[in-house]
């Protein structure tokens, strides 16, 4: 089966706060800082471009499949697509690319893992390659809610823009303020990918101007609403050309009335396309729910990881303190794992994601906010250690595996309280989940010498698993009252 153009995270592009275009070829001198060039394209890009033709990227037409060849995409961009071996479009790409390449505004309903980033990046690159550059201002802006998502989009942009000579700069808070500022003030940035806070900081200090941006993308608009970023986004949009003078693309996992209202304010006669949940996750991810007690959850998780220790696994919890305790306990039992939560400093977050992406560490424990921006190929298991409160978060979590048509497995633990979240999840995804008792091998005790801290049970009781704790000492908090599933 041909590989669809979905996740570009396998590209070996260094994770850095400032993402630059292709470096000079080996043996070629780097231009001096004082040398002035009107054309920001490096000579190496022009030389490679002249040696490549679309005929070198042969993709056989297949009934019911849309190729990237079927669109009017500049050859320099097609060369990047060819390098990534992206041949046939995903549903959101097939529906959206004709509209965005024609210059229409767009509202796209699509979860992560559908290939939506390729839609707006190809649209941006195609437009910038056809339009002459005037001045030194950025010409395209992408706004995303998290640092991790900004870095991923920027990495994807670098991969697709490899032969275009166009520059992509990632702008986000928490680190490398000076490096980002220096890159922007050089005047060679074409595409800015940013979180709202740091972008507003640069705008307020006059470091950056957006009045030359002819195309704007808002990614994960629903998450922007949830995180309270919309006032900041409004201020940013006020620095852009009027909506009649720019192209606006808005993507969201859900099209709530609030999201539609925002789109009506920011877009002009937008086209609307949707990739349904059933197309996104259910067909590509095997979903299984283990019916367990609160005391059995860790045992099942440990044995699952031990059996598949060479595979990449991400484990989700609802609360950051729960994620910390779980990560610590796994490490005491000899499992090398990384923690990703809102309390982890940005430099460490970036380093840990890179370690997980490259396979140096195969287990990642994360909260929803921290894990939302993870776009990494090759995650075999997504584990819901605690089921999420909102069905949408369930879809986002299991979307970390089974990306771009690959096979993945989503494992969820439903204890006494957690089972109450299942009906809403099943209604949202439109199917019944397979609920089973764990096999005997999953219930084998973990290694001795690393028992669960007494604090772990006591602190979890008020909010989460408040029943099924038959081994509690008399008088210990949260020991008796609870509902049976």
> 266: Cβ–Cβ under 8 A, 6 or more apart, which residues?
218, 237, 243, 248, 250
CB 428 within 8 A of CB 391: yes
The CATH number for 384's domain is 3.40.50.300
Distances 149 to 108, 218, 366, 416 between C-alpha atoms, Å: 17, 12, 15, 34
pLDDT band at 48 (very low <50, low <70, confident <90, very high): very low
Residues 261 and 336 in one domain: no
253-303 pLDDT, tens digit each? 888 899 999 999 999 999 999 876 545 455 678 999 999 999 999 999 999
CB 445 within 8 A of CB 271: no
Query: Cα–Cα distance between 97 and 118 in angstroms, integer?
Result: 9
Percentage of the chain exceeding pLDDT 70: 78
Cα R_g (the chain), whole angstroms: 24
**4 part of a folded domain:** no
Q: How many domains would you assign to the chain?
A: 2
pLDDT of residue 281: 55
What per-residue string of b and e applies to 113-128 under the rule 16 or more CB within 10 Å gives b? bbbbbbbbbbbbbbbb
Residues 250 and 285 in one domain: no
Average pLDDT, the chain: 81
Q: In what order do the strands lie in the sheet with 247-252?
A: 168-171, 191-194, 140-143, 215-218, 247-252, 106-109, 271-274
Query: Cα–Cα distance between 28 and 422 in angstroms, integer?
Result: 59
Residues 384 and 283 in one domain: yes
pLDDT band at 85 (very low <50, low <70, confident <90, very high): confident
Token readout for 215 is: 């195309």
Query: Cα–Cα distance between 466 and 458 in angstroms, integer?
Result: 10
Q: Tokens 């195609």 sit at which residue?
A: 126
Q: Which of 45, 18, 23, 14 is nearest to 165 (CA)?
A: 45
| Average pLDDT over every residue of 60-71 | 90
Token readout for 385 is: 């250690």
| Average pLDDT over every residue of 428-434 | 86
Residues 360 and 341 in one domain: yes
How many other C-beta atoms are found inside a 10 Å radius of the C-beta of residue 440? Answer: 8
pLDDT of residue 373: 62
Token readout for 104 is: 């229409």
Given 275, 300, 335, the domain boundary residue is 275
**209 part of a folded domain:** yes
Percentage of the chain exceeding pLDDT 90: 51
**473 part of a folded domain:** no
pLDDT of residue 357: 87
Domain that residue 299 falls in:
279-460
Query: Cα–Cα distance between 370 and 366 in angstroms, integer?
Result: 6
3-state secondary structure 463-480: CCCCCCCCCCCCCCCCCC
pLDDT band at 404 (very low <50, low <70, confident <90, very high): low
Backbone φ and ψ of 272, nearest 5°: -120, 125
pLDDT of residue 191: 98
**112 part of a folded domain:** yes
Residues 271 and 285 in one domain: no
Residues 394 and 306 in one domain: yes
- Which of 421 and 474 is assigned the larger pLDDT? 421
pLDDT of residue 336: 94
Model confidence at 165: pLDDT above 60: yes
pLDDT of residue 368: 80
Given 244, 275, 306, the domain boundary residue is 275
pLDDT of residue 13: 39
Model confidence at 477: pLDDT above 60: no
Question: Partners of 351 in the beta sheet?
Answer: none
pTM for this prediction: 0.61
Given 240, 275, 310, the domain boundary residue is 275
The DSSP annotation for 395-451 comes to: HHHHTTSSGGG--EEEEEEE-TTGGGGHHHHHHHHTS--EEEPPPGGGGSPPPTT-P
How many other C-beta atoms are found inside a 10 Å radius of the C-beta of residue 51? Answer: 8
The DSSP annotation for 303-365 comes to: HHHHHTTTSEEEEEESSHHHHHHHHHHHHHTT--EEEE-TTS-HHHHHHHHHHHHHTS--EEE
**8 part of a folded domain:** no
pLDDT of residue 468: 38
3-state SS, residue 27 = coil
pLDDT of residue 58: 87
pLDDT of residue 349: 82
pLDDT of residue 257: 92
pLDDT of residue 239: 96
Residues 339 and 221 in one domain: no
pLDDT of residue 62: 86
pLDDT band at 50 (very low <50, low <70, confident <90, very high): low
**16 part of a folded domain:** no
| Average pLDDT over every residue of 212-218 | 97
pLDDT of residue 275: 76
Q: Which of 400, 412, 443 is nearest to 312 (CA)?
A: 400
**34 part of a folded domain:** no
| Average pLDDT over every residue of 206-231 | 93
pLDDT of residue 484: 30
95-138 pLDDT, tens digit each? 999 999 999 999 999 877 678 999 999 999 999 999 888 888 99
Question: Which range, of 8-22, 188-202, 210-224, 390-404, averages the lowest pLDDT?
Answer: 8-22
| Average pLDDT over every residue of 222-245 | 93
- Residue 67 carries which DSSP code? B
Distances 318 to 197, 296, 341 between C-alpha atoms, Å: 25, 18, 10
Query: Cα–Cα distance between 370 and 148 in angstroms, integer?
Result: 8
Residues 175 and 242 in one domain: yes
Model confidence at 143: pLDDT above 60: yes
Residues 102 and 50 in one domain: yes
CB 190 within 8 A of CB 126: no
Model confidence at 178: pLDDT above 80: yes
Residues 268 and 287 in one domain: no
pLDDT of residue 449: 52
Residues 404 and 435 in one domain: yes
Q: How many helices (H) and strands (E) does the chain have?
A: 18, 14
Residues 448 and 347 in one domain: yes
Cα of 125 vs its chain's centroid, Å: 20
**266 part of a folded domain:** yes
Token readout for 228 is: 């309270």
């Amino acid at each position: 089966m041909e590989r669809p153009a979905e996740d570009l995270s396998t590209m070996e592009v260094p994770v850095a706060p400032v993402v630059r275009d292709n470096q000079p070829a080996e043996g070629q001198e780097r231009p001096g800082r004082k040398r002035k060039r009107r054309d920001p394209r490096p000579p190496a890009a022009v030389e490679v471009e002249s040696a490549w033709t679309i005929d070198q990227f042969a993709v056989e037409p297949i009934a019911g499949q849309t190729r990237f060849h079927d669109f009017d995409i500049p050859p320099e961009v097609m060369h990047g697509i060819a390098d990534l071996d992206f041949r046939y479009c995903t549903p959101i790409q097939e529906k959206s690319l004709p509209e965005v390449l024609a210059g229409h505004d767009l509202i796209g309903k699509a979860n992560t893992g559908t290939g939506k980033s390729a839609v707006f990046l190809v649209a941006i690159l195609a437009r910038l390659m056809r339009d002459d550059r005037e001045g030194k201002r950025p010409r395209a802006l992408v706004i995303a809610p998290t640092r991790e998502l900004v870095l991923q989009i920027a990495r994807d942009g670098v991969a697709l823009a490899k032969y275009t000579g166009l520059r992509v700069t990632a702008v986000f808070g928490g680190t490398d303020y000076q490096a980002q500022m220096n890159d922007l003030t050089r005047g060679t940035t074409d595409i800015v990918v940013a979180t709202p806070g740091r972008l507003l900081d640069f705008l307020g200090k006059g470091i950056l101007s957006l009045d030359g941006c002819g195309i704007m993308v808002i990614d994960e608009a629903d998450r922007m609403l949830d995180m309270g970023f919309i006032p900041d986004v409004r201020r940013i949009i006020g620095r852009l050309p009027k909506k009649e003078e720019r192209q606006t693309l808005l993507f969201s996992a859900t099209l709530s009335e609030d999201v539609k209202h925002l789109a009506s304010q920011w877009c002009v006669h937008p086209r609307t396309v949707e990739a349904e949940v059933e197309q996104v996750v259910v067909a590509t991810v095997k979903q299984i729910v283990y019916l367990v007690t609160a005391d059995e959850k860790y045992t099942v998780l440990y044995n699952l990881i031990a059996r598949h220790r060479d595979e990449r696994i991400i484990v989700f919890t609802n609360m950051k303190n729960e994620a910390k305790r779980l990560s610590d306990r796994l490490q005491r039992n000899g499992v090398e794992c990384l923690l990703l939560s809102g309390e982890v400093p940005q430099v460490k977050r970036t380093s840990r994601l890179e370690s997980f992406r490259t396979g140096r560490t195969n287990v990642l424990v994360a909260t929803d906010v921290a894990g939302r921006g993870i776009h990494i190929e090759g995650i075999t298991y997504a584990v819901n250690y605690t089921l999420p409160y909102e069905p949408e978060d369930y879809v986002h979590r299991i979307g970390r595996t089974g990306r771009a048509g690959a096979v993945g497995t989503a494992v969820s633990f439903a204890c006494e309280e957690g089972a109450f979240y299942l009906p809403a999840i099943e209604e949202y995804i439109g199917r019944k989940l397979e609920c089973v008792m764990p096999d005997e091998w999953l219930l084998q005790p973990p290694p001795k010498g690393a028992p669960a801290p007494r604090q772990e049970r006591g602190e979890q009781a008020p909010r989460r698993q408040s029943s099924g704790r038959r081994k509690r000492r008399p008088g210990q908090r949260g020991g008796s009252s609870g509902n049976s599933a």
